[in-house]
Amino acid sequence: MASVTLDKVNKVFGSTHIIKDVDLAIGNGEFVVFVGPSGCGKSTLLRLIAGLESISDGELSIGDSVVNDLPPRERGVGMVFQSYALYPHMSVYENMAFGLKLAKAAKETVHERVMATARILQLEELLERKPKALSGGQRQRVAMGRAMAREPRILLFDEPLSNLDASLRVQMRNEIARLHHRLGSTMIYVTHDQVEAMTLADKIVVLNGGRIEQVGSPQELYQRPATRFVAGFIGSPTMNFLPAKLLGADESGCRVSASGMPHLELPQDAAGLTKGTALTVGVRPEHLRLTEAQGDNSFEIVNVEYLGNEVYVYLDPKEGDTLLIQRSEAPTYWSVGQRVALSPDPAHVHLFNEQHQALGLDQASVAA
Amino acid sequence: MTSRQLSKHATRIGFWVLVALIVVIAVFPFYYAVKTSFTPSSELFRVELWPSRLDVSNYVQIFSQRSFLQAIFNSILVATSVVFIALLLGITASYALGRVRFRGRSTVLLVILGVSMFPQVAVLSGLFEVIRTLNLYNNPGGLILSYTIFTLPFTVWVLTTFMRQLPMELEEAAIMDGATPWVIITKVFLPLMWPAMATTGLLAFIAAWNEFLFALTFTLTDSQRTVPVAIALLSGGSAYELPWGPIMAASVVVTVPLVILVIIFQRRIVSGLTAGAVKG
């Protein structure tokens, strides 16, 4: 168990700059999830920590020591790969014992550790089997066992569940969460699936284009996204974005006009912006209320999806091609073709400036 | 029977006739060699398809020659050494060429391929000088060296291709487990590369076992010769007689081990040559 600190870490492949000035502190025993769209550098960042790629610039420390130039085996990290990458010619036992044997551990120690790991992961029955005789979930557990057997200080997971089918994925997600509670070791987990990120993480790191967009707990990221990217990435269905204009601002908040809505009185601090500045209003589907309306300032309902416990109403956005979504509990009396106006709950409206940064809450209104 | 069924049957029969023809053309020379080896020289030029009796005098004759036994021993020594050295160098070279990123990697691969394009005769005199300089003339070492030179390009190419198809994550998993490149090669890749190694090893063995030109040029005395040269130099009772019976007996003796090896490894060879063609 150990903490991990990244200080201005950069990675350059040839002429492409993959990781740009990443600063990050991961505490002892934390479960941290790197999330982002494909190509955002999340896997590269994990591989930098593992030691499979060299760091171009910056400093990486595990515990108290800088490990930039240490090979993986001396960093005390274990890694679970997306394809599991089990040694096909070795039994489950040999797979788990391989690293220990290479570390020249005594025979009894090897046996003890492998058996202990197998007990935790319920692999005792499978120790003599070859990987090809295992199911997907079992292979996944063996891959974790192999990473754990050497008792690494940090466990790394590179999209470990993406090769499993949906139901098994939920089950393994639970097992990983329980494993973290039981072992209490530092874990770093890479995924492109925001549901995995939300459910597993103590701390989510959202990456985009090689930079950290935001670091925070799942609640923070969901309730107070720092950028428009994070707002759109976290949450399903995604947040609705509407173009808006600043009408005025004072110390208690600001007034904003957006198409299809009444003028909004928001608690955000827009004091530094001039009147008329273009902004983006963001509202999550569940915070959108619909009211019947006519005329220019209304939207047409183009589809209604009934999901049993809830209903999604899709609206034609007029500008752009991303449909607006409203989510409410079933039943609904809206139907396709009706025209509606939006009336969001001001407490749950997000406001983004032209640089896609979220406008902060006014200090007074936070206190209140 | 309708005309359609008829033509279907005709196509089928035609197909099998063709197959039979091809098999006869391929196998008949070998069959006739075996048949000749069991025929005493007095009856050699009577044309018969089936031997009237099995006469083993030709075999007795070749096995009573010490030089022939020595030649078989030399051949085994040379061929197995070539296989061993070629696979050892091939595996390590293919790891470098298949897995390690370095400048000029594809140039090296092309040069390796280019070397194997030269006909043996073109390098014969140059190689002769090399072997003389290394003091390997009339010594199995000289043959091992020259065969290895000609076997390596093929070995390296096949093994490199195969090595590249092994998943990268497997190697990275081994690195995370603390494996050095040598451990990765021997403990992780080698067990997975048996099909490819069986294929290349067997082809290297056959090439070394059957090679004639170098073996003739680089050896001088009976005690250093390999089997193909020994067979070619078998002499009859007089300068005007070619000892066909013993020659055929000797040929059969040296071919049978190869046939057995191919049969043992045939499934491996097929899986080795097609491995990775389809994701499995």
Largest Cα span, chain A: 80
Last residue of a domain, one of A206, A232, A258: A232
In a domain, B96, yes or no: yes
Q: What percent of chain A shows pLDDT beyond 70?
A: 98
Distance in angstroms (rounded) separating the CA atoms of residues A258 and A247: 10
- Total structural domains within chain A: 2
Give the pair of three-digit tokens for residue B259.
Answer: 């046939």
Asked whether residue A228 falls in the same domain as residue A93, the answer is yes
In a domain, B49, yes or no: no
Asked whether residue A212 falls in the same domain as residue A270, the answer is no
Q: Are A57 and A68 in contact (CB under 8 A)?
A: no
For residue B1, the model assigns a pLDDT of 66
Asked whether residue B27 falls in the same domain as residue B120, the answer is no
Q: Is B29 on the interface with A (CB under 8 A)?
A: no
Burial of A160 (0-12, 13-18, 19+ CB in 10 A): buried
Asked whether residue B278 carries a pLDDT value surpassing 50, the answer given is no
Asked whether residue B81 falls in the same domain as residue B7, the answer is no
Q: Is B177 on the interface with A (CB under 8 A)?
A: yes
Distance in angstroms (rounded) separating the CA atoms of residues B82 and A38: 49
Last residue of a domain, one of A186, A204, A232: A232
Nearest residue in B to A104, CA atom? B178
Asked whether residue A366 carries a pLDDT value surpassing 50, the answer given is no
Rounded to the nearest angstrom, the minimum Cα separation between A11 and chain B is 17
Distance in angstroms (rounded) separating the CA atoms of residues A211 and A18: 9
Nearest to residue A164, comparing CAs of A44, A235, A80?
Answer: A80
Asked whether residue B245 carries a pLDDT value surpassing 60, the answer given is yes
Asked whether residue B244 falls in the same domain as residue B155, the answer is yes
A262 or B29, higher pLDDT: B29
Q: Which of A320-324, B147-151, B194-198 has the highest mean pLDDT?
A: B147-151
Asked whether residue A159 falls in the same domain as residue A63, the answer is yes
CB contacts under 8 A, A 63-122 vs B, are 71-73, 77-79, 81-83, 85-89, 98-99, 102-103
Asked whether residue A210 falls in the same domain as residue A243, the answer is no
For residue A146, the model assigns a pLDDT of 93
In a domain, B55, yes or no: no
The domain that holds A160 is classified in CATH as 3.40.50.300
For residue A365, the model assigns a pLDDT of 44
pLDDT in tens, A39-58: 899 999 999 999 999 999 99
User: Which of A85, A89, A99 faces B178 most closely, judged by CB atoms?
Assistant: A99
- Total structural domains within chain B: 2
Nearest residue in A to B183, CA atom? A102
Asked whether residue B19 falls in the same domain as residue B87, the answer is no
Asked whether residue A368 carries a pLDDT value surpassing 50, the answer given is no
For residue A341, the model assigns a pLDDT of 87
Asked whether residue A291 falls in the same domain as residue A196, the answer is no
Angstrom CA distances, A211 to A12, A21, A156, A215, A344, stand at 13, 7, 20, 11, 32
Q: Is A8 on the interface with B (CB under 8 A)?
A: no
CB contacts under 8 A, B 183-212 vs A, are 183, 187-188, 191-192
Asked whether residue B8 falls in the same domain as residue B77, the answer is no
Asked whether residue A212 falls in the same domain as residue A254, the answer is no
- Residues in chain A closer than 8 A to B188 (CB atoms): 87
Question: How large is the average pLDDT for residues A111-130?
Answer: 92
Q: Interhelix angle for A136-149 vs A92-102, to 10°?
A: 20
Asked whether residue A191 falls in the same domain as residue A280, the answer is no
Last residue of a domain, one of A232, A250, A277: A232
Residue-by-residue DSSP string for A331-367: P----TT-EEEE---GGGEEEE-TTSBBPPBPHHHHH
Q: Supply the range of the domain harboring residue B7.
A: 3-37
Question: How large is the average pLDDT for residues B7-25?
Answer: 93
Interface with A, mutate which of B99, B166, B177, B183 (most A CBs under 10 A): B177
In a domain, B26, yes or no: yes
Asked whether residue B173 falls in the same domain as residue B226, the answer is yes
ipTM: 0.82
Q: Supply the range of the domain harboring residue A336.
A: 238-367
Asked whether residue A51 falls in the same domain as residue A169, the answer is yes
Distance in angstroms (rounded) separating the CA atoms of residues B280 and B258: 30
The domain that holds B95 is classified in CATH as 1.10.3720.10
The domain that holds A323 is classified in CATH as 2.40.50.140
Asked whether residue A186 falls in the same domain as residue A244, the answer is no
Main-chain dihedrals φ then ψ at residue A326, nearest 5 degrees:
-120, 135
For residue B5, the model assigns a pLDDT of 87
Q: Is B174 on the interface with A (CB under 8 A)?
A: yes
The reply to whether residue B169 touches residue A50, judged by beta carbons under 8 angstroms, is no
pTM over 0.90: no
User: Which of A71, A85, A146 faces B167 most closely, judged by CB atoms?
Assistant: A85
- Residues in chain B closer than 8 A to A73 (CB atoms): 175-178
Q: Which of A23-32, B38-47, B267-276 has the highest mean pLDDT?
A: A23-32
